[in-house]
Amino acid sequence: MTNRPIIGIPTQTQDAQPGTLPRCWIMSQRYVNVLANAGAVPWLVPLLHQDTETLRAIYDHIDGLFLTGGVDVDPSRYGEEKHPMCGRTDPDRDATELQLVRWAIEDGKPILAVCRGFQVLNVAFGGTLFQDVGEQYPHALKHDHFPKSDGTPPRDYISHKVRVAPNSRLASYLGTNQAPVNSMHHQGIKQLAPGLAANAWAPDGLIEGIEGTNGKFLIAVQWHPEELAQSDAGMRRLFTAFVEASIGEQKEPRTKIASTK
């Protein structure tokens, strides 16, 4: 029997499909499943940034915040004009995630973020992004190994290794200073925000991991560990450590659920 923490996962907007579907909020099942397997109760969060009272009520019920991959962060969020290589954005998602991050930082709630979430976290703290790494970052290696329609490369395709800072919280979970990772992004951190410390780098020097400096559980990586967790014990530990930290944030007892894990 275990008290399972509730982890909030903000969704993404799917545009209406005339005659088929109205505008929807969606999220990949992969994120939900990896958190459930780690012992959490995943809770999909609608993009209710214009209804602060309802969004706050949802936030007050979660024990940790998980930020996933997705579309590009709108450059206006970090004071830049949109570059021609910047892709589709989701203003409602930007606003909702940035608000949730600010609340979580104020309260010290655990945060784990991947890919887009890694970038959102840097922006929330006051940092900036390369709108397209290939165009704006000199000598960049290929980071955008997005699967094609035929599924190649697969989402767990190892693109490169990252160098991990030996004394970082990230290294303690991954159990290595050289981690092989997948890579499905075309944006990245340009200016690292105050209050965050870099803890992993790609071979071309691009920051691929960050963590908070205030002792709270706040970790973000540029790759997709949810695609590697089944085969890589270190990637699984990222999620189990996050869930364990979130258990410590519970303000009241949860319904006890028999674990099948």
Told to judge if 86 belongs to the known catalytic residues of this protein, a careful annotator would answer: no
What span, in angstroms and rounded, lies between the C-alpha atoms of 228 and 233? 9
Residue from 86, 224, 227, 249 carrying the catalytic annotation: 224
Told to judge if 115 belongs to the known catalytic residues of this protein, a careful annotator would answer: yes
Told to judge if 226 belongs to the known catalytic residues of this protein, a careful annotator would answer: yes
Residue from 97, 211, 226, 249 carrying the catalytic annotation: 226
Residue from 86, 97, 115, 185 carrying the catalytic annotation: 115
List strands edge to edge, sheet with 64-67: 41-45, 6-10, 64-67, 111-114, 218-221, 207-212, 196-201, 160-164, 178-181
Query: Under the phi-then-psi rule, with left for phi > 0, alpha for psi from -120 to 50, and beta for the rest, what region is 139?
Result: left
Nearest Cα to 188, choosing from 97, 72, 27?
72
| Type of residue numbered 86 | C
- Please name the helix (run of DSSP H) or strand (run of DSSP E) that holds residue 100, with its range, or none: helix 91-107
Residue 125, number of CB atoms within 10 A of its CB: 18
Name the residues annotated as catalytic: 115, 224, 226
